[in-house]
Every structure is written in C-alpha cells, then in structure tokens.
Amino acid sequence: MRYHFRRLIYFLIALPISVILIDHIYNSNIPSVQSRSPFITIFHRNQTYRILSPSYHYNSRESYLNFAFFNVEQRNRVLYIDYLYDVPVSSQWQSKGHLYPIQIAQFGLSHWSRFRLQSQINQQNIYQFQHLQPNKDNQCSSWHQLPKEIPVLQTYIQFTIPLNSSLHFHFMNNNIELVYSSQLNRDIDISSKIIIPLAGSPRQVRRHMLTDIKKLSRRSLVDKNDLIQLQFCGESDSIIDQLIIGNQTLYDQQAFYSAAQWLLNTQDMISGCWFIHVQRNFGQQYRLRDPWCSAMAQGQAASLLVRLYALTNNSEHLLAIRRAMRPLWSSNISRAYFNDQYLWLEEYPLEPPAKGLFVLNGCLYALLGIIDANTVDRQPHLDKLIDEITHSIAHMLPHYVHPKISNWSVYDLSHLTMKNKFNAASYSYHLVHITLLQCLSKILKETHPSVSQVFHFYAQRFMTAIS
Ligand SMILES: *[C@@H]1O[C@H](CO)[C@@H](O)[C@H](O)[C@H]1NC(C)=O
Ligand SMILES: *[C@@H]1O[C@H](CO)[C@@H](O)[C@H](O)[C@H]1NC(C)=O
Ligand SMILES: *[C@@H]1O[C@H](CO)[C@@H](O)[C@H](O)[C@H]1NC(C)=O
Ligand SMILES: *[C@@H]1O[C@H](CO)[C@@H](O)[C@H](O)[C@H]1NC(C)=O
Ligand SMILES: *[C@@H]1O[C@H](CO)[C@@H](O)[C@H](O)[C@H]1NC(C)=O
Ligand SMILES: *[C@@H]1O[C@H](CO)[C@@H](O)[C@H](O)[C@H]1NC(C)=O
C-alpha cells in the first residue's frame, strides 16, 4: 500500500520539478572550465585517479570533489539500473540487490559534477526521432536505422514510454536486441533479447543502453561502432513523441535528478534517515543496528539535496536537508564515541553501540554534508556539531597512520576497538583520505584555523606515501 502511494507521489511531483530544473539550468551562468586544472592526475597500476590541486575551490552548489571522474554504474557492485527510478541497484552485502542510499547519492553527485564540468563541451551526434508510431496495418513501426556515427558509448536515450508498448533496439553486428517494454504480461522470447521491464508507464525514461547491455547480458560488445536499428510497438494510437539519442549532458542532468527524486521519496519523515535494511556482521559479536542509518548516507544525500535546493529554492527540498541532518546532531543513531570522549559520525553504526568502527572516509564525507547544509541553512546546532566533530577528527587523525607502512593511512580503527589486524587503506581509499582532508582543510581555513592546519598536515603526510 505504502509502496503504491509512494509511486503515485513520484509521478505527481516528478514532472514539475524536472521543468523547474531544466529552466534553472538553462538560465544560470555556467562557469568556464579553468585553464589551470583543479585536479592532479595519478596513474597507478593501469588505473587513473585524481586528487585535488591547489587551484581547486569547493562550492556547495558546484561539482563535488573529484566525482566527475567517477563512474558509479560501471562498478561491479552495481547489479543493474533500477527499472522505475533509473538509479543503480547495489549488490553489496545482498546478492539479489537493494537500493543503497550511499551509492545512489554518489551516482547523483558524480553525474551532477560531470554536468557542471563538461556541459560546455559541444556534443556531436545527437539524434532525435519525432512521433514514433506503429504502422496502420500492424502493431509495430518499421525499423529505423540510426545514423552510423553513433558510437555505442554514447547510447544515452530519453523518451516517454506509453502504456502497453515497447521500444526495440537491434545492435546488428553484436546480434543483441534490447527491449524497453511496458507490456509487462506479454510473452516475449526472452532468450534472444534483453528486456527492460518499465513499470509505472506512462513515464519518462532515461537510460544508457551500453550500461543496460553490460549489466543485463553476460556478453560484452564485440563491435563498438555497431549499426543500430530501432522499432516501436504498441497499440495503434500509442506514440513516442520524441526520442533523443546521444545527449550525454542531458543524461547527466537527469541522472542527478533521478537520484534526487529517489532520495526525496524514500527519506523517513520522522528520523530523517535513509534506512538500510541489509544485514551485516562484524566478527562474531558486532552487527549493524537494524535498520541502520549511515552518517555517510545522510551527509552525501544532504550534499546532493543542497545542490538541488540551490536550483529550485523549493522549501520542501530545504526541509529534506534539515531532516537529513537530524540523526547527526539530535540522537546517537548514527554516532559513536571514541574512548567515551570523542564524537564520531559512523558510516556503519554498530550494535552494541559502545563499540565503533570509526571509518575515516565516512566521517569526513558526513562532515562535508553538514558543512554544505549549514551553508544554505545556517543553524546553531550545526555550528556546534561542526566544532565538535572537527575537534574529534583532529585529535584522532594520529590513529589513522599505519604503524608499519610509512605514512600510509588506515581505513578504520577496528584494530583498537575490536583488536583486529590493521585495516590498511586500499590505494584508492588512501587517495580518498587525501582528497577529503585537502578539501576540508581549505574550507575550514578561516573558521577553524588550527583544525585546518592539522588536516593539511595529514593530507601532506599521506601524500608523501604516493609521491
Ligand atoms: C597493465 O596493462 C598491461 C597491458 O595491458 C598489462 O600487461 C599489465 O599486466 C597491467 N598491469 C597491471 C598491474 O594490471
Ligand atoms: C494493456 O494491456 C492489458 C493486457 O493486455 C489490458 O488489460 C489493458 O487494457 C491495456 N491497457 C491499455 C491502456 O490499453
Ligand atoms: C543536450 O542536452 C542539454 C541539456 O539539457 C541541452 O542544453 C542541449 O541543447 C542538448 N543538445 C542538443 C544538441 O539537443
Ligand atoms: C527563495 O525562497 C524564499 C522563501 O520561499 C524567498 O524569500 C527567496 O526570495 C527565494 N529566493 C530566490 C532566489 O528565489
Ligand atoms: C549520546 O551518547 C553520549 C555518550 O553516551 C551521551 O553523553 C549523549 O547524551 C548522547 N546524545 C544524545 C543526543 O542522545
Ligand atoms: C612521512 O611524513 C612526514 C611528515 O609529512 C615526513 O616528514 C616524512 O619524511 C615522511 N616519511 C617518508 C618515508 O616519506
């Protein structure tokens, strides 16, 4: 019942917001990409990473850290892109998949960042089909050939799907047929086709065909410049007014909006939490509180909603940001205390609560979310929380230096609280630590100079380990 109600709300509010969004984006001045790059590129074991350069300036409305270079949907932990919300479904800790607020917030923030940084790039090869309709004498249109130049990488599609219809894409040389279908009961020969069942039609659909193929078939594409044909099937009066293919900017903008919409629809109105229901144990004695409320999810979702609110100025969005902050300051549902003394914002709040994991990056992301929220909606309790948590982090940073690997960081403090082995940060998490400390040190320079210096010192120290 509740689910259906939510779905209804989704459709009621989806359209007006998207119109506002597009309007604001068209009318705002997009800052030019600076010639001196805000990022430093690092190559390591065939991977490319980015940290922040001295010319990087954080702004709560603009791109988020180095997330423009993230590709959340390509991660192995993304099972597929959800059929109703067009957001990633995570397989982390639950193989059948679940909607994981941290991953969804990251998906939205990465597309937002790409949109802000790359929207000036002049895109080529964007195609539009108007008025796709079945032929008079049968249920389908004829096959239309897409222009040859459309690379498989750029197969971003946007359209509104009517009831009881299906849009078919045939990748000729790869011999794959991808079907976006709202005919949920019809028999379709599944073996030769990849079917995306689109619930809730009529509705807007924003997908990346390459991602759908990668996630849903076990095959990889052989021909990256394949010939693609398309066909629309449905009842005689059904129609797709406009199908846009290849507009990545539009996709980035809408993926941000899909994530925002999911977050607005699924927040618990009382606690402000995006509750997570998957089970996870740590050793034999500890497990996540069920359901759990991750401080990192609260912080990253707030960072995303702050960017939405900067566009919409909609008071509902402001209230969602305020609610997101609630578990971080008004209860201990997402918090722990180190040595009964230092407050911490827990990515994974454990039971019993006396024990904590003290994951470093989760707390730093949560802090950034609080700073973002406080920028658009200054509150005395958030000022106080920022003072308290920055003080804790500055005191606890020495514990995050690996004792055996010179100037390398550790991921959490389970070696102290659970007597585990040192949990050395992976290469990519070590860079995440550097990036977050660099950014926060700069943000806090004026308001918290001594904390800022400590953050800067540890960012530099961790840097020596990779240079
Ligand atoms: C990096 O790529 C090269 C060439 O593709 C490969 O031979 C090598 O094993 C890769 N190295 C690592 C560390 O993955
Ligand atoms: C869609 O198809 C179903 C099952 O074939 C049918 O019951 C329903 O009336 C159709 N809806 C519309 C709007 O055509
Ligand atoms: C692609 O989408 C962007 C963002 O909505 C829009 O500004 C741009 O005009 C579109 N490009 C084309 C060629 O339609
Ligand atoms: C935003 O909304 C507030 C209150 O609803 C209003 O006072 C303010 O002028 C609005 N600002 C902009 C830029 O629209
Ligand atoms: C959280 O726990 C600490 C330590 O046990 C306690 O002092 C504090 O009052 C609690 N805060 C809230 C808001 O419940
Ligand atoms: C570790 O970091 C400290 C402080 O930045 C620096 O003085 C020291 O040289 C670094 N050690 C190594 C081995 O790079």
Q: Which residues of 134-155 are buried (b: 16+ CB within 10 A; e: fewer)?
A: beeeeeebeeeebeeebebebb
45 Cα to the center of ligand 1, angstroms: 7
Among residues 193, 215, 246, the one where a domain terminates is 246
* Mean pLDDT, residues 434-450: 98
String of DSSP letters for 4-24: HHHHHHHHHHHHHHHHHHHHH
Whether 412 maps to a domain, the answer reads yes
Whole-number pLDDT of residue 31: 36
Whole-number pLDDT of residue 137: 82
Whole-number pLDDT of residue 4: 40
Which pLDDT tens digit goes with each residue over 90-123?
999 889 999 999 999 999 999 999 999 876 666 7
Closest ligand 1 atom, residue 46 Cα: 1
| Position 330 pLDDT exceeds 70 | yes
Q: How far is CA 392 from CA 124, 230, 358, 364, in A?
A: 50, 58, 11, 11
Number of independent structural domains in the chain: 2
461 Cα to the center of ligand 6, angstroms: 6
Residue 375 structural domain:
20-65+267-464
Size of the chain, expressed as the number of residues it contains: 467
| Position 285 pLDDT exceeds 90 | no
Q: Decide: 461 in ligand 6 pocket, CB within 6 A.
A: yes
249 Cα to the center of ligand 3, angstroms: 7
Q: Decide: 164 in ligand 2 pocket, CB within 6 A.
A: yes
Structure tokens at 191: 């073996």
Q: How far apart (Å, rounded) are the C-alpha atoms in residues 5 and 287? A: 32
Closest C-alpha residue for ligand 5 atom 14: 331
Which pLDDT tens digit goes with each residue over 24-49?
333 333 333 445 789 999 999 999 99
Q: Is 45 left (phi over 0), alpha (psi -120 to 50) or beta?
A: left
- 235 and 279 share a domain? no
Whole-number pLDDT of residue 29: 33
Give residue 5's pLDDT band: very low, low, confident or very high (50, 70, 90). very low
Q: At what angle do helices 449-464 and 427-443 cross, to 10 degrees?
A: 150
- 276 and 149 share a domain? no
Cβ contact 311:64 at 8 Å: no
Closest ligand 6 atom, residue 464 Cα: 14
Percent residues over pLDDT 70 in the chain: 89
Pairing of strands 193-197, 203-208: unpaired
- 242 and 280 share a domain? no
- 326 and 447 share a domain? yes
Of 419, 416, 453, 456, give the one whose Cα is nearest residue 434. 456
Percent residues over pLDDT 90 in the chain: 74
String of DSSP letters for 20-51: HHHHHHHHSPPPPPPSS-SEEEEEETTEEEEE
- CB-side neighbour CA atoms (13 Å) of 206: 19
Whether 138 maps to a domain, the answer reads yes
* Mean pLDDT, residues 173-187: 83
Quick one: DSSP state of residue 230?
E
Which pLDDT tens digit goes with each residue over 131-143?
999 998 889 999 9
Whole-number pLDDT of residue 419: 87
Whether 44 maps to a domain, the answer reads yes
Which pLDDT tens digit goes with each residue over 287-324?
898 899 999 999 999 999 999 999 999 999 999 999 99
Q: What is the reported pTM? A: 0.90
Give residue 186's pLDDT band: very low, low, confident or very high (50, 70, 90). low
Q: How far is CA 126 from CA 147, 150, 302, in A?
A: 10, 8, 33
Q: How far apart (Å, rounded) are the C-alpha atoms in residues 428 and 44? A: 10
- 315 and 454 share a domain? yes
Among residues 199, 214, 246, the one where a domain terminates is 246
Q: Which residues, other chains included, contact 84 with Cβ-Cβ below 8 Å and sequence gap of 6+?
A: 7, 10, 198, 199, 200
Whether 94 maps to a domain, the answer reads no
Closest ligand 6 atom, residue 406 Cα: 13
For ligand 1, pick from 46, 47, 49 the residue to mutate: most ligand atoms within 8 Å of CB.
Answer: 46
Q: Which residues, other chains included, contact 209 with Cβ-Cβ below 8 Å and sequence gap of 6+?
A: 152, 155, 156, 157, 169, 178
Whole-number pLDDT of residue 185: 62
Structure tokens at 464: 């020596």
* Mean pLDDT, residues 341-365: 92
Whole-number pLDDT of residue 289: 83
Whole-number pLDDT of residue 21: 37
| Position 20 pLDDT exceeds 80 | no
Whole-number pLDDT of residue 132: 95
- 196 and 272 share a domain? no
Whole-number pLDDT of residue 283: 77
Whole-number pLDDT of residue 290: 82
Whole-number pLDDT of residue 138: 82
Whole-number pLDDT of residue 18: 39
Q: Decide: 453 in ligand 3 pocket, CB within 6 A.
A: no
Residues 308, 367, 117, CA angle at the centre, nearest 5°?
Answer: 45
- 184 and 291 share a domain? no
Give residue 281's pLDDT band: very low, low, confident or very high (50, 70, 90). confident
Among residues 194, 212, 246, the one where a domain terminates is 246
